Chains A and B, each alone.
Chain A
């Protein structure tokens, strides 16, 4: 296995582990506490790009599916994919891929990073809300009211934090990757 690939695997695994840890750290503001999982999903895409961001989240979901307590509130198990939040979980992998895909083409420009996190965040809802509607037999309006609107403020904060953190950490990450290449 090439050295650089091994390094990406280490980073992808650590970001997946951070996503799991993020499920336990709620920010107590507003009516709905903000869970940090999405922040690390966005960061996986922004920092690792589409391929490794996606792999990172796919492994995270697999570990959760076999029963490890990595989902929100320390839950795990394949049942979560069939439940009302299953769509959001699948959305994590899609979000990391698309965020990474846009970020790869951004050449470090802030505007593109913002577009990447907005697209990624919306895709989580694009996967989660229809799934929620299908599983609970809610109307579209109710599914959006319950599964999207209460979280928008938190997502906006997380998106801003993701862009700021990615821009701060990226030079360090690139330096580390270049050190290995050299």
Chain B
């Protein structure tokens, strides 16, 4: 069971990162959400054999990590955690597509390997961008931003609630599992019946907690409106961030910058 606690402690690290005060953290969540969505949409829209044109897109997460004072090693580690899934998706490509597509000197690289590299790069970029969004905005900010962007209020409220309850129920479940472990001297095998009781207890405690939380909300006059310490205000700075990055993404989608630079260098040298 320690895994459950350590996983959720990990969430609180993202929370701590989101509470920093930097230029990027100060931007309106809507600007960051929409920019991230455009980034993901454009990255995913590339053809399956494209690799070089994707490389300049690393600029977005790298610049944000630097400006938002985020630990690159920690985020890279989180991206690596998702990598086995991307690996599994793409690893069959070299077997299915063995036609040589590129020649690197005497070595021929098949289309399957190129598409595999493209999948890995796209996964890294999209997962990285989503993590940067959470680490610079926080779940409360994302919930409030989504609501202002037109997502149903109940959906946005539920998103922020879920985020809080994850910690509460993790504690509850961890306590129960620890108690069972201590009373049974850490025995591994457990009867289904015992687990049935445990889950029943967890469910009843959850229902009881739900009732208490709801009553507390009513007592405090909560009406379902998400409130942040600083009300959301979409300024020219946010507009600049959104428009600037979006234009750059579109440019990078239309022009293969590494190829263009390569041609330029070849011409100058030639």
Contacts and interface: CB of A to CB of B under 8 A. Distances in A.
A93 interface: no
B209 interface: yes
B157 interface: yes
A165 B78 CA distance: 36
A103 interface: no
Interface string B14-51: 10000000000000000000000000100000000000
B154 A27 contact: no
Contacts of B123: 79, 82
Contact of B162 (A16, A29, A69, A180): A16
Interface string B172-186: 110001000000000
Interface stretch (A111-119, A122-130, A166-174): A166-174
A21 B173 contact: yes
* B interface secondary structure, majority: helix
Interface size for chain B: under 10, 10 to 19, 20 to 34, or 35 or more residues? Answer: 35 or more
Contacts of B161: 9-10, 13-14
Contact of B173 (A25, A39, A67): A25
Interface string B147-185: 000000111011101110110111011000100000000
Given A6-B217, A77-B127, A21 B210 contact: no
A72 to B, nearest CB: 11
Contacts of A83: 85-86, 88-89
Interface in B104-152: 123, 126-127, 130-131, 133-134, 139, 142
B165 A84 contact: no
A60 interface: yes
B191 to A, nearest CB: 9
A54 to B, nearest CB: 11
Contacts of B177: 25
Contacts of A62: 159
Interface string B83-99: 10110110010001000
Nearest to A8: B154
A17 B210 contact: no
Contact of B195 (A12, A27, A69): A27
B82 interface: yes
B7 A65 contact: no
Contact of A78 (B6, B127, B173): B127
A163 to B, nearest CB: 12
Contact of B169 (A14, A68, A75, A84): A14
Contacts, number: 184
* A interface secondary structure, majority: helix
Interface string A1-25: 1010111011111111110110011
Contacts of A133: none
Nearest to A135: B89
Nearest to B156: A59
A10 B207 CA distance: 10
Contact of B3 (A74, A84, A169): A74
A74 B203 contact: no
A1 B207 contact: no
11 contacts: A5-B154, A10-B213, A11-B207, A14-B169, A14-B210, A17-B168, A21-B169, A70-B166, A73-B3, A74-B3, A83-B88
Given A24-B7, A172-B204, 17 more contacts: A9-B161, A10-B213, A16-B162, A21-B173, A24-B4, A25-B177, A39-B199, A56-B158, A59-B155, A62-B159, A66-B130, A67-B130, A75-B81, A77-B78, A77-B127, A169-B204, A176-B210
The 4 closest A-B CB pairs, nearest first, are A1-B224, A83-B85, A74-B7, A13-B161
